[in-house]
Amino acid sequence: MSELTGKVAIVTGGSSGIGLATCQRLVKDGAIAVSADLEAPEDSRIKFVKTDVTDQRSLQNLVETVVRQYHQIDILVANAGITEHKAGVADLDVANWQRVIDVDLTGVVLTDKYVVQQMVKQQSGSVINMSSILGVVGAANSQAYSAAKAGVANFTRSQAVTYAPQGIRFNAVAPGYVNTPLLQTLPSDVTDSMVAKMPVGRLAEPSEIASVIAFLASDDASIVTGAVINADGGYTAQ
């Protein structure tokens, strides 16, 4: 029997990149994986509920739909996110700042809010929020994304302390540079510079980040809560 057999997982942003790899890994490990995204995944094994993480009614519908069909939510991976317009604060695009904060920080908080209401009823659950190495270290011309991902990390720690007595674990994963479709659209000199900063000498694969998430979702991580795991090939160890 697989480690996650019978578990029900929601993955926001689950139709591409790290989210898709996570859904695929959770299915492989025996879970029912639901992608909560704007577009359906191209994998028939993954369930889909169209969801906008900035819309509270949409998130309520997600939870109601999953609970109605599967009666429980055991795992949440709050992964949905967008990138920013790179600029120093003097040249900040305020509208872009707000949009990134709305999706990458407030979207995580709101998703957690409505899913954890169900987990409280169950007195169990594992929440994995997606942070980033840019929430750990500074990067030139990053503002909203760095602020959002740092916020996710400490929000996660605080919720871990709050909900530990109710059997709900909160952890975060902070990936480094990952070989996603978005990264593949960048010029080769940009990706080469990313690789040069990685002690392991390569980009991470989405499946490697998914493996960390699957561990945190499982009972093998039953004592792990409040952790922010840097899955970054040694980037932040330098």
Instruction: Give the tens place of pLDDT for each residue, 159-173.
Output: 999 999 999 999 999
Superfamily of chain region 8-237: NAD(P)-binding Rossmann-like Domain (3.40.50.720)
Residue 130 banded pLDDT, cuts 50, 70, 90 = very high
Would you name the residues annotated as active-site residues?
Answer: 145
In the prediction, which pLDDT does 225 show?
99
Mean pLDDT of the 47-69 span: 99
CA nearest neighbour of 108 among 132, 84, 142 = 132
Mean pLDDT in the chain? 96
C-alpha–C-alpha distance, residues 75 and 5, integer Å: 12
C-alpha–C-alpha distance, residues 80 and 102, integer Å: 11
> How large a percentage of the chain has pLDDT more than 70?
99
